């Protein structure tokens, strides 16, 4: 069988078509009605992935985002009960800084949660029809006439480590390194970490830093509320009154105690796990699959690690914010029908030729 090099589909080389105003022709009989100009359509209106869009395409969510309201509800209910039942007592008996600290933590948690949920995680544009046909032609032409197994992987060298790139049959391109196709969102996502139903979105290259700061700040908020509730109930139970009396005096604290007790351990564990991933420059997907653990007996190392915890943390959390590669608010050409088979791939052309792909 012949060997063949496969060329990576570069969606960045594509130009976003600019909508042209409909042409008006003069003349004709008076009985002919002028053609009504069609409303320019945004690309998000025919987006091929399983996403939902709001605010004219500015906000995007996974279609299966039903757990996000539960996440917001648990955070808000617990915090509201804390400010109503615990803060007045603690301000009177301890310090006025307690509601201020709780408020700052709550605002930070909500901001990072919404950033994680509404940010493009790093979706890659799908291949254009001509490019997809070209790469399929390259794949089919490799080999002899009698036996032609389709090679669906290619190897690249990254920091002296061989990395295999897999072919995505949905997006019809070889996935860049660390990219994976999310079956729930039906998109290829750069530096794919995992799909998180609690935030209603994939976690990838563009929103991982928001996700990490969200779970860390949520750990601080949950632990802070839990400690304040315990202190509140302990102070009320002084003088032989007992815990039952304290709970009767502050029934909202009992609800907070249950929610925080069962959530603080899982949130702290999740924060610790992702702190390890950040320090190692790994993703959840790579850690679960054991991509760089050498489980198969191969001598492999993580080619993305800088061999320094501080450098890895800065690389993951403090690197320049990458641009979005999908032009979801761009306009479709006026002559493209809504049900055209080419729309599903054409609408994902990048907004700028200067944006870089992995």
Give me the active site residues, please. 196
Angle between helices 67-81 and 97-118 (to 10 degrees): 170
* Cross-strand pairs, 153: 166
Maximum CA pair distance of the chain? 99
Please state the separation of Cα 212 from the chain's center in Å: 11
Q: Name 272's Cβ contacts closer than 8 Å, sequence gap at least 6.
A: none
Token digits for 265? 């351990």
Tell me how far apart the alpha carbons of residues 320 and 355 are, in angstroms, rounded to a whole number. 13
């Amino acid at each position: 069988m012949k060997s063949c090099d496969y060329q990576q589909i570069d969606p960045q080389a594509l130009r976003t078509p600019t909508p042209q105003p409909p042409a008006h022709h003069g003349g004709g009989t008076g009985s002919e009605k002028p053609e009504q100009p069609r409303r320019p359509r945004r690309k998000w209106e025919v987006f091929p992935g399983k996403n939902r869009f709001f605010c004219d395409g500015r906000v995007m969510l996974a279609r299966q985002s039903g757990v996000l309201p539960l996440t917001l509800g648990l955070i808000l209910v617990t915090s509201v009960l804390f400010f109503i039942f615990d803060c007045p007592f603690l301000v009177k008996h301890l310090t006025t800084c307690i509601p201020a600290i709780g408020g700052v933590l709550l605002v930070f948690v909500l901001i990072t949660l919404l950033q994680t949920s509404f940010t493009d995680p790093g979706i890659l544009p799908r291949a254009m029809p001509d490019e997809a046909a070209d790469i399929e032609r390259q794949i089919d032409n490799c080999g002899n006439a009698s036996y032609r197994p389709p090679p669906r992987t290619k190897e690249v060298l990254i920091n002296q480590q061989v990395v295999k790139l897999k072919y995505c049959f949905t997006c019809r391109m070889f996935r860049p390194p660390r990219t994976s196709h999310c079956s729930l969102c039906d998109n290829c996502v750069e530096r794919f970490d995992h799909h998180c139903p609690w935030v209603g979105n994939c976690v990838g290259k563009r929103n991982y830093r928001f996700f990490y700061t969200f779970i860390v700040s949520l750990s601080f908020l949950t632990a802070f509320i839990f400690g304040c509730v315990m202190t509140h109930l302990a102070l009320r139970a002084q003088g032989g009154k007992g815990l039952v009396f304290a709970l009767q005096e502050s029934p909202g604290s009992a609800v907070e105690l249950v929610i925080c007790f069962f959530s603080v351990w899982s949130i702290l564990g999740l924060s610790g796990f992702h702190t390890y991933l950040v320090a190692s420059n790994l993703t959840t997907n790579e850690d679960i699959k054991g991509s760089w653990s050498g489980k198969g007996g191969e001598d492999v190392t993580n080619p993305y690690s800088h061999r320094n915890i501080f450098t890895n943390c800065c690389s993951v959390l403090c690197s320049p914010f990458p641009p979005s590669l999908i032009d979801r608010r761009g306009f479709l050409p006026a002559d493209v029908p809504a049900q055209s088979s080419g729309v599903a791939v054409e609408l994902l052309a990048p907004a700028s030729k200067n944006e870089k792909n992995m």
